[in-house]
């Protein structure tokens, strides 16, 4: 089960990275296009979660996603979700992804600002309000 979990993790990670960079597999391969349109990523994701839950110590994916780095990224993910559109508008990435891929420096700046905005949102807004709500209740 651990090998299957790791294989699904690699497939989903490659799919996500290629889509993020504008390199859509759906236009290049017919079978991938069918899988994309049938939303077969959802059962793959469910298999990934089941595999990580059933064999957490032997799965590389479970150990990687349970690492300190990914736990910290999970904390700031809501801030990234909130401020992501504004940062994307600043770098005009929403306009460029259909016409031409942006250069590497633009992507690095975009992800840097995105991470910074998520961290500021968590540590300056979310965490103090979580502490305040615990004190009130």
Nearest Cα to Cα of residue 23 among 108, 111, 101, 105? 101
The percent of residues above 90 in pLDDT, for the chain, comes to: 20
Has residue 14 got a pLDDT over 80? no
For the stretch 47-87, pLDDT in tens is 877 877 787 677 788 888 888 998 888 899 999 999 888 88
Q: Look up the pTM and report it.
A: 0.61
Distance CA 90, CA 47 (A): 37
Segment (H or E) for 111 = helix 104-121
Looking at residue 27, its pLDDT comes to: 52
Delimit the domains of the chain by residue range.
1-66, 68-137
Tokens found for residue 95: 């306009």
User: Which of 77, 78, 73, 110 lies closest to 91, judged by CA?
Assistant: 110
pLDDT at 39 over 80: no
Q: Residue 20: pLDDT band by 50, 70, 90 thresholds?
A: low
Calculate mean pLDDT across residues 95-114: 70
The secondary structure element, H or E, covering residue 54 is helix 41-54
* Burial of residue 23, with CB atoms counted within 10 A of its CB: 0-12 exposed, 13-18 middle, 19 or more buried: exposed
């Amino acid at each position: 089960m651990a090998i299957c979990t790791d294989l699904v993790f690699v497939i989903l990670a490659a799919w996500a990275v290629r889509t993020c960079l504008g390199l859509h597999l759906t236009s290049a391969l017919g079978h991938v296009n069918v899988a994309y349109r049938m939303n077969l990523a959802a059962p793959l994701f469910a298999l990934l979660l089941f595999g990580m839950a059933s064999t957490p110590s032997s799965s590389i994916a479970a150990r990687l996603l349970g690492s300190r780095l990914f736990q910290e990224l999970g904390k700031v993910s809501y801030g990234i979700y909130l401020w992501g559109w504004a940062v994307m508008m600043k770098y005009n990435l929403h306009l460029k992804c259909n016409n031409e891929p942006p250069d590497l420096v633009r992507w690095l700046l975009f992800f840097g600002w995105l991470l910074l905005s998520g961290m500021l949102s968590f540590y300056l807004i979310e965490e103090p309000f979580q502490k305040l709500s615990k004190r009130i209740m």
